């Protein structure tokens, strides 16, 4: 009975171009070897263009499955590195074949895996195959870097604004290049990447409709945003060829001048340095606005506009919501004062501040409030810290007295003194943070400074940016109280009329 053998052939694209070691050449030599040995060929498995460093290859996966079905008794390759270029993978495959009672043999390398010496020799061949693979990778990386240093772009990324004319060479596409310049212009004007993506999806006047439609209309806004971020960071648009963090003068024409690209990178860096809760600064009254029903603080909240007709005009509705009504941080729904519209509350507060500056109107006295649970927790924590700090100071004084009476005390006592000093420092820092949170601001200015700042309030409100106005409010406004005026029998509590009262710090 003749032996049934399967033939395995593999070549990567790079090996074929470098050595001319084609699939056809391997198959012919393996077939000739089988004829010389009078073996039957049970199957031919071919992986064309697959790396020998990975086991995830279509033909190899089929071969491994067929080995378990007694379809053949021998796996035949031209060279060991055709099966794998990694010793660990090679040993695992041979062990798998052994369990299936399938032998493994190479035409050009004499070994027999049926005994220990043959398996050891096979693994030595695998070591050299893996070494050759590492050398190939190093030579490939060196060749890629050399081409990039010469100004060629590595790979063929999808480049909006360019066309690939040949390997590594780019040519500007005027229509799509205009889209790239528009993206950079919008970003430097302060528009966020998600808003830019929404504009592109909805269409932009002045840009070729076909380009925008082809590139952006059938993609989600978040996917377009990711692509815009990639465009903004890509030095290829500034005329560079890049590999890793290294930039080299490219052979292609730049779409964006170097100054614009550098400004975009600075803008990206500055936006990345904003804390995670920076969006809270959209709400001018955060930290000052309080529910007049339960005394809890209110927080900024925005709700998507679900109207298809008005969504493109106003994507969100914004409110200040009571924490005791919203289930915030696990709180119970103990308050029916849902909140107030952001525009209404901020309009009332800014009007009151303008009245204080222009007419000297001090604002109405805020109604008496229940104790805010948040403030109550801070007060209890302050008492605990003050007691702990006093106790640490007393222990330290006792240790100092003991050291004076017995200067030859051991190092453990001195170590305890240092520990108490560190504990006092930690407690003092935490106490300062708690007291600042309880004070929650205040002018902190002299009377003449306050008067000069009040004179500038109308100009600041008319010309300053959002952050400056927010700081101005924090300087003068002690708290803003939102109280329901009346309670209709039907309807959501957010629809109740609200009275907004502003209380300023004493001047």
Catalytic sites, residue numbers: 12
For residue 295, give the nearest of 375, 376, 370, 379 by alpha carbon.
370
252 backbone dihedrals φ, ψ, rounded to 5° = -100, 165
For residue 186, give the nearest of 197, 170, 175 by alpha carbon.
197
Q: What does the block give as tokens for 339?
A: 């909140």
CB atoms within 10 A of CB 492: 8
Spatial CB neighbours of 171, under 8 Å, sequence gap ≥ 6: 162, 163, 164, 165, 252, 253
In this structure, are residues 445 and 505 in contact, taking their beta carbons and an 8 Å threshold?
no
Q: In angstroms, rounded to a whole number, what is the distance separating the alpha carbons of residues 71 and 5?
A: 9
In this structure, are residues 229 and 196 in contact, taking their beta carbons and an 8 Å threshold?
no
Q: What does the block give as tokens for 372?
A: 């805010």
Q: What does the block give as tokens for 303?
A: 């709700």
Instruction: List Cα–Cα distances, 69 to 63, 64, 66, 209, 247, in angstroms.
Output: 10, 10, 5, 58, 55
| 4-11/40-48 β-pairing | parallel
| 246-249/240-243 β-pairing | antiparallel
| 316-322/103-106 β-pairing | unpaired
Specify the DSSP element, H or E, that contains 264. Answer: helix 258-272
Residues in the chain: 507
Q: In angstroms, rounded to a whole number, what is the distance separating the alpha carbons of residues 189 and 199?
A: 14
Query: Burial level of 248, CB count in 10 A (0-12/13-18/19+)?
Result: middle
For residue 104, give the nearest of 144, 49, 64 by alpha carbon.
64
Half-sphere exposure of 273 (CA within 13 A, CB side): 6
Q: What does the block give as tokens for 139?
A: 């030579």
Instruction: List Cα–Cα distances, 101 to 31, 73, 229, 289, 387, in angstroms.
Output: 22, 7, 55, 78, 78
Q: In angstroms, rounded to a whole number, what is the distance separating the alpha carbons of residues 137 and 130?
A: 11
For residue 256, give the nearest of 149, 154, 160 by alpha carbon.
160
Q: In angstroms, rounded to a whole number, what is the distance separating the alpha carbons of residues 478 and 467?
A: 18
């Amino acid at each position: 009975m003749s032996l049934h053998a399967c033939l395995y052939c593999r070549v990567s694209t790079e090996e074929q171009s470098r050595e001319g070691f084609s699939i056809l050449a391997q198959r012919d030599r393996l077939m000739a070897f089988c004829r010389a040995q009078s073996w039957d060929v049970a199957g031919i498995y071919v992986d064309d263009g697959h790396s020998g460093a990975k086991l995830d290859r279509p033909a190899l996966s089929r071969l491994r499955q067929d080995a378990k079905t007694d379809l053949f008794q021998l796996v035949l390759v031209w060279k060991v590195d055709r099966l794998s270029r990694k010793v660990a993978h090679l040993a695992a495959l041979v062990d798998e074949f052994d369990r299936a009672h399938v032998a493994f043999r190479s035409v050009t390398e004499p070994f027999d895996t049926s005994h220990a010496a043959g398996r050891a020799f096979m693994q030595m061949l695998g070591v050299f195959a893996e070494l050759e693979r590492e050398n190939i990778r190093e030579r490939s990386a060196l060749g890629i870097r050399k081409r990039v240093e010469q100004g060629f772009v590595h790979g063929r990324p999808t480049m909006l604004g360019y066309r690939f004319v040949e390997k590594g060479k780019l040519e500007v596409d005027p229509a799509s290049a205009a889209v790239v310049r528009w993206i950079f212009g919008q970003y430097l004007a302060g528009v966020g990447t998600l808003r830019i993506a929404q504009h592109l999806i909805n269409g932009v006047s002045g840009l070729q409709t076909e380009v925008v439609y082809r590139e952006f209309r059938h993609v989600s806004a978040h996917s377009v945003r990711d692509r815009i971020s990639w465009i903004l960071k890509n030095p290829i648009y500034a005329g560079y060829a890049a590999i890793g963090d290294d930039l080299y003068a490219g052979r292609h024409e730049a779409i964006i001048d170097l100054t614009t690209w550098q400004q975009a990178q600075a803008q990206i860096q500055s936006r990345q340095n904003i804390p995670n809760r920076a969006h809270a600064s959209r709400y001018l009254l955060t930290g000052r606005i309080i529910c007049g029903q339960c005394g809890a603080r209110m927080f900024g909240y925005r709700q998507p506009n679900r109207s298809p007709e008005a969504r493109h005009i106003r994507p969100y509705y914004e409110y200040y919501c009571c924490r005791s009504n919203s289930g915030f941080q696990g709180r119970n729904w103990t308050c029916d004062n849902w909140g107030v519209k952001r525009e209404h509350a901020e309009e009332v507060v800014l009007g009151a501040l303008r009245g204080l500056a222009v007419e000297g109107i001090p604002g109405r006295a805020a109604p008496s409030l229940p104790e805010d649970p948040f403030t109550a927790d801070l007060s209890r924590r302050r008492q605990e810290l003050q007691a702990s700090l006093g106790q640490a100071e007393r222990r330290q004084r006792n240790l100092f007295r003991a050291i004076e009476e017995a200067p030859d005390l051991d190092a453990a006592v001195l170590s305890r003194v240092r520990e108490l000093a560190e504990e006092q420092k930690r407690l003092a820092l935490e106490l300062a943070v708690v007291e600042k949170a309880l004070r929650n601001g205040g002018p902190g200015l002299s009377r003449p400074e306050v008067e000069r700042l009040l004179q500038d309030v109308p100009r600041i409100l008319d010309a300053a940016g959002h952050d400056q106005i927010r700081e101005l409010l924090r300087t003068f406004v002690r708290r803003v109280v939102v109280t329901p005026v009346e309670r209709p029998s039907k309807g959501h509590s957010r629809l109740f009329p609200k009275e907004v009262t502003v209380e300023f710090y004493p001047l």
